[in-house]
A and B are shown apart, each in its own frame.
Chain A
Amino acid sequence: MKFLELIWAALNIRRVRTAFTLVSIIAAFLLFGLLDSVRSAFAHAGEGIPGADRLITAAKVSFGSPLPQSLQARIQTVPGVVAASYGSAFLGTYQDPKNLVPVEAYEKHYLDLYPEWYIAADHREAFKSTKTGALAGETLAKKYNWKVGDKIPLQSKVQQQSGDTTWTFDLVGIYRIDNPNLKAMEGILYINWDYFDEARVAEKGTVTWYTVKVRDLDQSDPISQAIDALSANSEHETRTQSEAALYAEWGKQLADVGLISGSIMGAVFFTLVLLTGNTMAQAVRERIPELGILRTLGFSRRLIMSLILGESVLMLMAGSVTGLIAATAAVQVLKAKLGPSLPMLPIAADIWLRALAVAAIVGLVVAAIPAARGIRVRIIDAIAGR
């Protein structure tokens, strides 16, 4: 610690240069924090999702292709199935085409399969009893300042019998999901499937997926196979898998997010290494006579090497901590602005650890060569500024 003052003083020699370098480091780690937050959100998709006892049956050709509603009764006959319900989804916009609102229409018993979603009893009851009723997630309601009792008009490409494409729902309740991995789902508006199917023109009597609750988890695989066998060789073959596996698969399908963010971070850190490396090289070169003096006064080469490396690591650490604090604030702002359209996790401990490790490594790498050069100069040449 007694050498910290020397390190700090060295950083203060060229304050403007240090400040600019620090700003670059802060910007790099701000980006690191934001990108890693998005990457983590996708990478951890499916983790910690309670749903191992729920299966999702969707069209084999692609998730989203319509399946007949009549399948529900047949699924319920499969041994080991406790309950089966279904839903359909479409995309609406609120007030402005930029304000996307995902809408999911549920069969009346659907919510019974999701006890972990918190819905007040009176809201749940109002949803069941109100044909045009809708439940909004806390995040979604906060975003648009919706309150129970509000009428919510949404624009959609899904046409109603009347020819109208504006769907108006009565907000009868708010739901909350406490699992941080599923928090993005609070951005969805739930409506009644019966109303939706009755009102729409196209694809009537079809659903997008089935949610199936099984009695014995260990029997999930044979039950899935039995459900898929119901539609085998038909026009609407199905694929059944556990809910957690489905989320994980979605996460993997979005693996490009990891690749893209990794590539951007790679480019950013490569630039950072060049920038801070150049700064450190300049800083050491300018201070060769001072380093010579320190060695004259008895500082060993190893100690001086440590001082230079410490200077670089301190600068990187200060920049990374500030950058991540800024990223933490930015994540909050972006989450509020973007809502569930871009899943972002808070800057978690693992991101902090990764960032600090990166900062330490970059700090050591960029200073190693200038430091080695700095201490190789003979004392008498260093003092003479040769």
Chain B
Amino acid sequence: MPLTHSEARAAKPIVQMHGVKKIYERGKQKVEVLHAIDLDIPQGAFIALMGPSGSGKTTLLNLIGGLDSPSEGTIRVSGKQIDQLGEDELASWRASSVGFVFQFYNLLPMLSARKNVEIPLLLTKLSAAERKRHALTALELVGLSERAEHHPNELSGGQQQRVAIARAIVSDPKLLVCDEPTGDLDRRSAKEVLSLLQALNASYGKTIVMVTHDPKAAEYAQSVLHLDKGSLVADPPSDAKAEKRA
């Protein structure tokens, strides 16, 4: 069962962000995309991160996933301070600690579904047979074991996203970061993917942070965080409310 809102609040935070700022330099101009974000995400939570375009959602998600470094502030994930890690350390940390799901699946087109899922395991000491077994288990979990040897162009969008989810969970990370995972899917496929994420959260205790524009997708999460102009806000901005009512 997924954590209730109060249970999630009580759980130990897996992500702790304090005073996190992100400033991009565009020519001579400095643009502060995130303003002193303080955020704790409890272990086992399923959080939807919403906000208008340009509000900093993806930037925040990239910082949580260790794809980018903050300009100021500290980020701890599972107790490890990641904002000070070097390039190689951060890569190694990502390999073992975070799973990524993107809007456009980002599978390697020349590899089969199984081989795509095996990619993160190439960085481990597992043998080829063990890598194959783990990949098939992950594909079974997302309901695609029968399509294991198919290439991405032989799969539907929903199936490709499920392969991407299998790739994200194959090394058994505690945290999944999902950037618009249903943004490129039809309603039915989106439901399947969201149900799958919900199941991973409920049955396997994965902490999920999901960026979405879609209020219906956000309903699958336990709680929704709203970001507006680089700051976390209590209520959704007015344009988001309008979108929700629609």
Q: How far is the CA of A13 from the CA of B68 in the complex (A)?
A: 29
- List the interface of chain A (C-beta within 8 A of B): 2-3, 5-6, 9-10, 12-13, 289-290, 293-302, 378-380, 383
A-B contact pairs, 16 of them (CB 8 A): A9-B110, A13-B109, A13-B110, A296-B94, A296-B100, A297-B94, A297-B123, A298-B91, A298-B95, A299-B91, A299-B123, A300-B92, A301-B87, A302-B88, A380-B58, A380-B67
Which 4 residue pairs across A and B have the least CB separation, nearest first? A298-B95, A9-B110, A293-B106, A300-B91
Does the CB pair A3–B122 fall under 8 Å?
yes
Does the CB pair A9–B106 fall under 8 Å?
no
Inside 8 A of A289's CB, which chain B residues have their CB?
Answer: 106
Given A298-B95, A299-B91, A299-B123 in contact, is the A379-B110 Cβ separation under 8 Å?
no
User: Of A2, A299, A379, which is within 8 A of B67 by CB?
Assistant: A379
Chain B positions 109-139 with a Cβ under 8 Å from a chain A Cβ: 109-111, 115, 119-120, 122-123, 128
Is B46 on the interface with A (CB-CB < 8 A)? no
Does the CB pair A12–B62 fall under 8 Å?
no
Does the CB pair B100–A12 fall under 8 Å?
no
Given A297-B100, A380-B62 in contact, is the A12-B110 Cβ separation under 8 Å?
yes
Does the CB pair A297–B95 fall under 8 Å?
yes
Is B11 on the interface with A (CB-CB < 8 A)? no
Does the CB pair B108–A293 fall under 8 Å?
yes
* Whole-angstrom distance between the Cβ of A106 and the nearest chain B Cβ: 68
Is B96 on the interface with A (CB-CB < 8 A)? yes
Q: How far is the CA of A181 from the CA of B88 in the complex (A)?
A: 56
Does the CB pair B102–A383 fall under 8 Å?
yes
Q: How far is the CA of A70 from the CA of B100 in the complex (A)?
A: 96
Q: Mark B56-79, 1 if CB is under 8 A from A, else 0.
A: 001000100101100000000000
Inside 8 A of B62's CB, which chain A residues have their CB?
Answer: 380
* Whole-angstrom distance between the Cβ of A287 and the nearest chain B Cβ: 9
Does the CB pair A298–B92 fall under 8 Å?
yes
Inside 8 A of A301's CB, which chain B residues have their CB?
Answer: 87-88, 91
Q: A3-B122, A379-B67, A383-B102 are in contact. List 20 more A-B contacts (CB 8 A).
A: A5-B111, A6-B119, A9-B111, A10-B110, A13-B109, A13-B110, A293-B106, A294-B119, A296-B65, A296-B100, A297-B94, A297-B123, A297-B167, A298-B91, A298-B94, A298-B96, A300-B88, A301-B91, A380-B68, A383-B67
User: Of A2, A5, A300, which is within 8 A of B87 by CB?
Assistant: A300
Does the CB pair B94–A5 fall under 8 Å?
no
Q: Which residue of chain A has the shortest Cβ distance to B89 in the bound complex?
A: A300
Q: Which of A5, A6, A293, A297 has the most CB of B within 10 A?
A: A297
Inside 8 A of A6's CB, which chain B residues have their CB?
Answer: 108, 111, 119, 122
Interface size class of chain B, counting residues whose CB lies under 8 Å from the partner chain? 20 to 34
Does the CB pair B108–A290 fall under 8 Å?
yes
Q: Which residue of chain B has the shortest Cβ distance to A301 in the bound complex?
A: B87
Does the CB pair A379–B95 fall under 8 Å?
no
Inside 8 A of B93's CB, which chain A residues have their CB?
Answer: 298
* Whole-angstrom distance between the Cβ of B105 and the nearest chain A Cβ: 10
Chain B positions 166-181 with a Cβ under 8 Å from a chain A Cβ: 167
Does the CB pair B110–A2 fall under 8 Å?
no
Given A290-B108, A297-B94, A297-B95 in contact, is the A5-B115 Cβ separation under 8 Å?
yes
Inside 8 A of B95's CB, which chain A residues have their CB?
Answer: 297-299
Q: How far is the CA of A298 from the CA of B93 in the complex (A)?
A: 7
Q: Which of A10, A294, A378 has the most CB of B within 10 A?
A: A294
* Whole-angstrom distance between the Cβ of B171 and the nearest chain A Cβ: 8
Q: How far is the CA of A297 from the CA of B62 in the complex (A)?
A: 13
Q: Which residue of chain A has the shortest Cβ distance to B109 in the bound complex?
A: A13
Q: How far is the CA of A380 from the CA of B33 in the complex (A)?
A: 15
* Whole-angstrom distance between the Cβ of B101 and the nearest chain A Cβ: 11
Does the CB pair A378–B68 fall under 8 Å?
yes
Does the CB pair A2–B122 fall under 8 Å?
yes
Does the CB pair A379–B120 fall under 8 Å?
no
Given A298-B96, A299-B91, A300-B91 in contact, is the A383-B110 Cβ separation under 8 Å?
no
Q: How far is the CA of A298 from the CA of B94 in the complex (A)?
A: 5
Inside 8 A of A300's CB, which chain B residues have their CB?
Answer: 87-88, 91-92
Q: How far is the CA of A203 from the CA of B50 in the complex (A)?
A: 106
* Whole-angstrom distance between the Cβ of A136 and the nearest chain B Cβ: 59
Q: How far is the CA of A6 from the CA of B67 in the complex (A)?
A: 22
Inside 8 A of A5's CB, which chain B residues have their CB?
Answer: 111, 115
* Whole-angstrom distance between the Cβ of B57 and the nearest chain A Cβ: 13
Inside 8 A of A380's CB, which chain B residues have their CB?
Answer: 58, 62, 67-68
Inside 8 A of A293's CB, which chain B residues have their CB?
Answer: 106, 108
Inside 8 A of B167's CB, which chain A residues have their CB?
Answer: 297
Q: Which of B67, B91, B109 has the most CB of A within 10 A?
A: B91
Does the CB pair B110–A297 fall under 8 Å?
no
Inside 8 A of B108's CB, which chain A residues have their CB?
Answer: 6, 9, 290, 293
Q: Which residue of chain B has the shortest Cβ distance to A297 in the bound complex?
A: B120
Q: How far is the CA of A293 from the CA of B122 in the complex (A)?
A: 14
Does the CB pair A298–B120 fall under 8 Å?
yes
Q: How far is the CA of A378 from the CA of B68 in the complex (A)?
A: 8
Q: Which of A289, A290, A300 has the most CB of B within 10 A?
A: A300
Inside 8 A of A12's CB, which chain B residues have their CB?
Answer: 110
* Whole-angstrom distance between the Cβ of A214 and the nearest chain B Cβ: 69
Q: How far is the CA of A300 from the CA of B88 in the complex (A)?
A: 6
Q: How far is the CA of A363 from the CA of B67 in the complex (A)?
A: 31
